[in-house]
Amino acid sequence: MAENELEFLDNREEVRDDTTGALPEQEEDEEFDVFRNVGQGLVGHYREIMIQYWQELINEIESTNEPGSQHTEDFKSHSLPLARIKKVMKTDEDVRMISAEAPILFAKACEIFITELTMRAWCVSEENKRRTLQKADIAEALQKSDMFDFLIDIVPRNLQ
């Protein structure tokens, strides 16, 4: 074997020493913060409310598989019309067939998205000591978190 091939094997063994499966820069006891994006752009009480909402939502979703769970029925009932969701899905020319479960999943995802956006906009309106939610509150809520950057072309920045 050539000398550079042996060097390659030696380097490869150094990487394999980690039996935890963690990335080299990640420590074994370092916890992954699942809520790091949830509180983005929020402070204090508002951040706690959003984290609590997501924790309850995660618990609800995880409990849907438990026998006799009330959340199983909640998942099947939704506020958004499935026919409309299916119609939107079919606007993509590549979509030929849609399973029965797909619109249900999209409906739940849309409900979660709308709820989070509404909660964030409510935080903005409450910070401004108002009880009425305005378009400007939604725009400001979107600007506070970079996870909503995909809406930058849809929601104008200057709605004040």
Decide if pLDDT at 72 tops 90: no
- In a 3-state reduction of DSSP, which class is residue 45? helix
Q: What is the pLDDT of residue 20?
A: 46
Tokens at residue 104, please?
Answer: 């249900």
Whether 146 and 40 have beta carbons less than 8 Å apart is answered as yes
Superfamily (CATH H level) for 33-151? Histone, subunit A (1.10.20.10)
Read off the pLDDT of residues 13-46 as tens digits, 9 standing for 90 and up.
444 444 444 444 544 444 556 666 776 777 788 8
Q: What is the pLDDT of residue 88?
A: 92
Read off the pLDDT of residues 79-130 as tens digits, 9 standing for 90 and up.
889 999 999 999 999 988 999 889 998 998 999 999 999 999 998 999 999 9
Rounded to whole angstroms, what are the CA distances from 85 to 90, 116, 117? 9, 19, 19
Whether 59 and 74 have beta carbons less than 8 Å apart is answered as no
